Amino acid sequence: MDKIQLKALAKINLGLDVLRRREDGYHEVKMIMQTISLCDELELRKRKQPGIQVRTNLHYLPTNENNLVYKAAQLLMEEFQIGDGIAIQLQKRIPVAAGMAGGSSDAAAVLWGMNQMYGLGLSRKGLMERGVRLGADVPYCVLRGTALAEGIGERLRTLPPMPKCYILLAKPGISVSTRFVYENLHANDLKPEQHPDVDAMIEAMKEKDLGLLTARMGNVLELVTVPAHPVIEEIKRYMLEAGALGAMMSGSGPTVFGIFDTQAKARKAYHAMRAGRLAKQLYLTVPYNVRR
Ligand code: ATP
């Protein structure tokens, strides 16, 4: 096998709680993760010239070791002493720095693809163990589907798939630093009522009750990101008025997702949001649970 094509799926968080800040500065989280059909596309190709070549359609993204795809390739090339080179073509569609784990998903795709292309014989668990060295969300991006993520995000448990629905994503034209959000959360000083009830959400998922699930959704990071960027609250309100069962910020933001029970309602909301001009990027998507 000389080349391989891959899809790197975006994720949303249906629930996101931060339990505490650890002594070492990491945060202990409890998150419900869901992959969606919005994805980046990658092509890996073996090259005679040694080294890692990264090409991408987004001119402002790094193509050196600061790109997570580079780091993922480097990790496996060093461990398995792969002497030949590799070319990575990365077609970005997932909004960057948007709370959708785009970079982590690209890295997971490279790990998975290189394992296939070079016949490295790593199990999914082996890929996930290497993935966490690149980022806390990478193991989940190897797994995909509906999952509970705990620890720093690397302890994963598969959940029943999300009930059928349609998802509208809206990203306002602002960037949010994940680091800024976590630093300003002061996780150890939160009051009990400020924490979303992730266990109650899991119950709703088990019952396949989309109404209950959306009513119970919560993201503790909204406490920091929304006051800093009120447009997020505006978009949420807009989505609810347009017929969403629920609307919430994903990850540390600023992307907001709205959940709809019919495609017609989601489409109508898409057109309303486009006319409203609150969001710079808009995508209609669905949950995507194909596992690797
Ligand atoms: P998360 O949901 O995990 O917080 P995110 O959506 O906030 O992720 P990404 O889009 O993954 O953030 O990337 C944020 C930063 O990482 C950007 O500033 C970008 O320069 C850098 N980066 C490195 N590699 C990539 C990649 N392959 N795709 C996107 N960004 C990348």
**265 part of the active site:** no
**From 11, 30, 92, 171, active-site residue:** 11
- The protein residue with its alpha carbon nearest to ligand 1, atom 19, reads 61
Q: What pLDDT, on the 0 to 100 scale, is given for residue 290?
A: 82
Q: Which tokens sit at 278?
A: 């609150």
CB–CB of 284/270 below 8 Å?
yes
Rounded to the nearest whole angstrom, what is the distance from the C-alpha of residue 96 to the centroid of ligand 1? 5
Low-confidence ranges of the chain (pLDDT < 70): none
Tell which atom from ligand 1 comes closest to the C-alpha of 68.
24
**7 part of the active site:** no
Closest CA to 147 of 159, 139, 137, 138: 159
Q: What pLDDT, on the 0 to 100 scale, is given for residue 272?
A: 94
Rounded to the nearest whole angstrom, what is the distance from the C-alpha of residue 94 to the centroid of ligand 1? 10
- The protein residue with its alpha carbon nearest to ligand 1, atom 1, reads 101
Closest CA to 257 of 242, 265, 267, 246: 246
Closest CA to 235 of 220, 221, 254: 254
Q: What b/e sequence results for 31-48 when a residue is b if at least 16 CB atoms lie within 10 Å of its CB, and e otherwise? A: bbbbbbebbbbbebebee
CB–CB of 215/246 below 8 Å?
yes
Q: What pLDDT, on the 0 to 100 scale, is given for residue 184?
A: 96
Is residue 1 classed as helix, strand or coil in its secondary structure?
coil
DSSP letter at 256? E
pTM of the model: 0.96
**pLDDT digit string (tens) for 235-245?**
999 999 999 99
- The protein residue with its alpha carbon nearest to ligand 1, atom 16, reads 103
Tell which atom from ligand 1 comes closest to the C-alpha of 69.
27
* Complete DSSP assignment for 137-191: THHHHHH-SEEEEETTTTEEEE-PPPPS-EEEEEE-S----HHHHHHTT-GGG--
Rounded to the nearest whole angstrom, what is the distance from the C-alpha of residue 88 to the centroid of ligand 1? 17
Is residue 269 classed as helix, strand or coil in its secondary structure?
helix
Tell which atom from ligand 1 comes closest to the C-alpha of 92.
28
- The protein residue with its alpha carbon nearest to ligand 1, atom 11, reads 103
Interatomic CA distance for residues 149 and 8, integer angstroms:
19
Tell which atom from ligand 1 comes closest to the C-alpha of 71.
24
**From 17, 71, 137, 236, active-site residue:** 137
- The protein residue with its alpha carbon nearest to ligand 1, atom 14, reads 97
